[in-house]
A and B are shown apart, each in its own frame.
Chain A
Amino acid sequence: MRNIYLEPRTERSAFAPFLVSMLAVCLTIIAGSGLFLIYGKSPIAGFHAIFIEPLQSSYGIGEILLKLGPFLLIAQGLAIGFRARVWNIGAEGQLIIGAILASVVAIRFDGSTSSLLLPGMVLAGALGGMGWAGIAAWLRTRYNANEILVTFMLSSIALQILYYLVTGPLRDPQGFNFPQSITFSAAATFPILIENTRVNASLIIALVVTVLAWVFMQRSLMGYKLVVGGLAPHAARYAGFGEKRAIWLALLIGGAAAGIAGVGEVAGPLGMLQRTVSPGYGFSAIIVAFLGGLHPIGIVFSSLLMALIHVGGDFARLSVGLPSAVTDIFQGLLLTFYLASSLLLTHRLRLRKPDAVLTAEAAE
């Protein structure tokens, strides 16, 4: 250990981000094995259930593709914000508000067969998410209120709004007091893409958003401005890239994406508004965004992985009896190991120097 020494990288490596993410996954699997042993389960059986079983059935693959959509959508939006160092951690709330607004449209126009109904719901959901995130943008730019805290608080508030609506104004009058809305009509739900699965057309939106995110972040001047603002705020101010504009843009994009993801749930597998709209997609997507290196392409892979872990976690609960907490711990470990491994993005390992310190000191 005393001979291992870290030196700051001067050049960016194209492969480093991929290797770092893989390293994080490997470390998580190693630590996860320990976790399985603690619960008295065989690591091999556990990992087989999580990583292999879902891929062996069309049902499993369908479920993975179903969850891929929301992860992709939300993480692409969040990553744009994170690269601008705008910390929107309230995607869950933006998703909920998006789902609520889309549901309001669906319920208001129940029975309509218009082909505009679904696009209208998507629009309402996007606006809902934007509006909810916009509150944080407004409070940050106008009153300097920390967006991390505000987006989190807004998430908790959104959940209470949802509870209020499904037990009151939006509750199905014929629903025996169950806290849920009416079932949406066919015109208000996404068409199924692959037969015998729940995979629906909202996945296409997620893929289109991914392409748009790539163009935006890698090729557009606006994306460049956001990245500069995140990397070097003083350089952004020097260049004249408005900070407030960046905050608005980052939060609105993230909010819109999360809002659409909410529509994908209520107009997709749920087909109605209910107390649980999302199994924590908004929070897991934070991990997805980081694990994908905050890069649109990387996020495709990390979304697939996270979808697999979520589905595989369900499989493992059934087949091996693994508690659901394990999936949660897994996610925390992934992000933890990713952040640790990330040091290799900016530094490289060197062998040398007996009295080396961990961080190299610059020559002068």
Chain B
Amino acid sequence: MTATIIFILAGTLAATVPLLLAAMGELVAEKSGMLNLGVEGMMAVGAAAGFVTVAVTGSHALGLIVGGVAALLLSGVFATLSIVFLANQVAAGLAIGILGLGVSAGIGKNYEGTTVTPMPKLSFGALGDVPVIGPALFSHDIMVYLAIAAAFAVWFVLQRTKLGLIIRAVGESPQSAHSLGYPVALIRTACVLFGGAMAGIGGAYLSIAYTPLWADGMVAGRGWIVVALVVFGTWIVPRVTLGAYLFGAISLLELSIQGLGLNVPSQLLSASPYIVTIIVLVVISRNPVLIQLNSPMSLGQTYRPNG
């Protein structure tokens, strides 16, 4: 029993990292009014680029960076389409989603099914030896803790700084922000790129630390769950964070239940994150006031200066 608890706690912390990082990125992009549905593709590109980097250089830090940059470039395509070419954000998100999945397969082509050494775990000395808590909380790689720090940083910037105020203002009314002299296109682009980088780092973590192997399609819908997470959390950082951990835990369900020896069709377990996503989405969305009060007012709308 103790082993199961440790497994679930420790596993949840690690499984949440890609979700939390990507969700923080998407949250910032959406706060500026940009609905980027291409998270799945961005995470895939990050995963592939990060994996190949680690396979070649052996450096996990470099893998995370390259994964982040690769996805950032892809998100730049999204920003160009929807900000410069005034494309519908939904369509543009789908486009880079599809593009990203293709590109990730192209990058990882020669590495299908191979593995790399996972990211090294940090050592906390005596803390790691404390029963239950040690193995559950203090036997992780650095990203498990950095992801939490990133969530806090995003919260701090959005809620406590002038920069965050500007981002929120742009997300509410790009017209007003423009008339005050803020470079709306630039701010939105920067937020989208941040979202891309975070999704890429999240994807890279998946392939170089969590699994750690490359398989085509390994992101497996996480990108879409990330988009849903931002809605679940009603664009509020602590709630999105909580949601990410919830889904991190659910993704462990399959392994845990099999570990407990219960006889449940594996397909039901595989489908469970999607089923739970729909259920939570319904529960949150049925309260229109919650959505209306918290969603960025210009979310998904193409901004045309003075148009």
Residues of chain A at the chain B interface (Cβ within 8 Å):
8, 35, 87, 89, 139, 143-146, 148-150, 152-154, 156-157, 160-161, 163-164, 168, 283, 286-287, 290, 323-333, 335-336, 339-340, 342-343, 346-347, 357-359, 361-362
Closest to B92 in A: A339
- A selection of 19 A-B contacts at a CB cut-off of 8 Å is A139-B282, A145-B281, A146-B231, A148-B37, A152-B221, A153-B275, A153-B278, A156-B221, A157-B274, A160-B270, A164-B265, A286-B94, A329-B99, A335-B98, A336-B95, A336-B96, A339-B88, A340-B81, A359-B86
- Distance in angstroms from B85 CB to nearest chain A CB is 5
A205 to chain B: closest CB distance in Å? 27
* B97 nearest CB across to chain A (Å): 8
Stretch of B7-15, B100-108, B154-162, B238-246 lying at the A interface:
B100-108
CA distance A149 to B229 in the complex (A): 11
The B interface, classified by DSSP as helix, strand, loop or mixed, is: helix
**Residue interface bits B24-41, CB-to-A below 8 A is 1, else 0:** 000000000000010001
CB-defined contacts of B94 to chain A, threshold 8 Å: 89, 286, 335
B102 contacts A332, C-beta separation under 8 Å:
yes
Q: List the B side residues contacting A330 at CB < 8 Å.
A: 102
Q: Which of B90, B99, B106, B271 contacts A336 (CB 8 A)?
A: B99
Alpha-carbon distance A191/B277, docked complex (angstroms): 42
| Binary flags per residue of B281-307, CB closer than 8 Å to A gives 1, else 0 | 110011010010000000000001111
Most buried by A among B37, B98, B278, B286: B98
B151 at the interface (CB under 8 A from A): no
Give chain B residues whose Cβ lies under 8 Å from the Cβ of A168. 265
In the bound complex, CA of A48 to CA of B288 (Å): 54
Q: Cα distance A149–B94 when bound, in Å? A: 12
Q: A323-B106, A332-B99 given as contacts; is B271 within 8 A of A149 (CB)?
A: no
The answer to whether B90 and A87 touch across the interface, beta carbons within 8 angstroms, is yes
Majority DSSP secondary structure for residues of A touching B: helix
B142 within 8 A of A: no
Whether the Cβ atoms of A346 and B95 lie closer than 8 Å is no
Q: Chain B contacts of A332 at CB under 8 A? A: 41, 95-96, 98-103
In the complex, besides A329-B99, A340-B85, 16 extra interface pairs with C-beta distance below 8 angstroms are A143-B285, A143-B286, A149-B228, A149-B278, A161-B267, A164-B267, A325-B103, A326-B106, A328-B101, A335-B95, A339-B88, A343-B86, A343-B87, A359-B304, A359-B305, A359-B307
* B99 in contact with A333 (CB, 8 Å): yes
Q: A323-B109, A346-B86, A358-B84 are in contact. Are A339 and B91 (CB under 8 A)?
A: yes
Q: How far is the CA of A324 from the CA of B81 in the complex (A)?
A: 26
**Interchain CA distance A163-B305 in the complex, whole Å:** 50
- Interface residue ranges of B210-234 to A (CB < 8 Å): 221, 224, 227-228, 231
On whether A324 and B86 interact (CB within 8 A), knowing A335-B98, A336-B96, A339-B95, the answer reads no
A144 touches B288 (CB 8 A): yes
Give the residue of B96, B100, B275 whose beta carbon is less than 8 angstroms from that of A157: B275
Asked if B102 and A325 sit within 8 Å, CB to CB, the answer is yes
Interface set, chain B 39-88, CB cutoff 8 A to A:
41, 77, 80-81, 84-88
Expressed in whole angstroms, the Cα–Cα distance for A146 and B35 within the complex equals 13
Q: Do B282 and A145 touch (CB < 8 A)?
A: yes
Q: A149-B228, A153-B274, A153-B277 are in contact. Are A357 and B305 (CB under 8 A)?
A: yes
Interface size class of B (residues with CB under 8 A): 35 or more
Shortest beta-carbon distance from B272 to chain A in Å: 9
Contact in complex: B102, A164 (CB < 8 Å): no
Judge whether B268 is part of the interface by a CB distance below 8 angstroms: yes
Q: Give the complex CA separation of A144 and B295 in angstroms.
A: 14
Chain A residues near B281 (CB-CB < 8 A): 139, 145-146, 149-150
Task: Determine the distance from Cα of A329 to Cα of B95 in the docked complex, in whole angstroms.
Answer: 10
Chain A CB count within 10 A is highest, among B41, B88, B94, for B94
Given A148-B37, A359-B304, are A339 and B85 neighbors across the interface (CB < 8 Å)? yes
Chain A residue, CB-CB nearest to B95: A335
**Which listed residue (A35, A150, A287, A358) contacts B278, Cβ 8 A?**
A150
Provide the bound-state CA to CA distance between A222 and B106, in Å: 44
- Please tell me which one of the listed residues A152, A154, A328, A347 contacts residue B102 in the complex, with CB atoms under 8 A apart: A328
Contact flag A149-B102 (CB < 8 Å), given A160-B268, A339-B87 = no
Looking at the assembled complex, report how far the CB atom of B110 sits from the nearest CB atom of chain A, in whole angstroms.
9
Residues of B within 8 A of A329 (CB): 99, 102-103, 105-106
Interchain CA distance A361-B286 in the complex, whole Å = 39
Q: How far is the CB of B91 from chain A (nearest CB, A)?
A: 6
* Minimal Cβ-Cβ distance residue in B for A329: B102
Residue among A326, A327, A329, A347 facing the most chain B CB atoms (10 A cut-off): A329
CB contacts (< 8 Å) of A331 on chain B: these are 98, 102
**Closest approach, in angstroms, between the C-beta of A42 and any C-beta of chain B?**
18
Interchain residue pairs A-B with the least CB separation, the first 9: A332-B99, A328-B102, A325-B105, A329-B102, A325-B106, A160-B271, A339-B87, A164-B267, A153-B274
Please indicate the chain A residues that have their CB under 8 angstroms from the CB of B265 in the complex.
164, 168
A109 CA / B174 CA spacing, docked (Å): 60
Pick the most buried of A153, A286, A327, A343: most chain B CB atoms within 10 A of its CB: A153
Q: Which residues of B contact A327 (CB under 8 A)?
A: 102
Task: Give chain A nearest CB distance to B258 CB in angstroms.
Answer: 15
**Distance in angstroms between the alpha carbons of A145 and B100 in the assembled complex:** 26
Distance of B74 from chain A, by nearest CB (Å): 10
Chain B minimum-CB-distance residue to A338: B95
Contacts of B77 in A (CB 8 A): 336
Chain B proximity of A171: nearest CB distance (Å): 13
Within 8 A of A (CB), among B137-180: none
Measured between alpha carbons, how far is A144 from B268 in the docked complex, in Å? 26
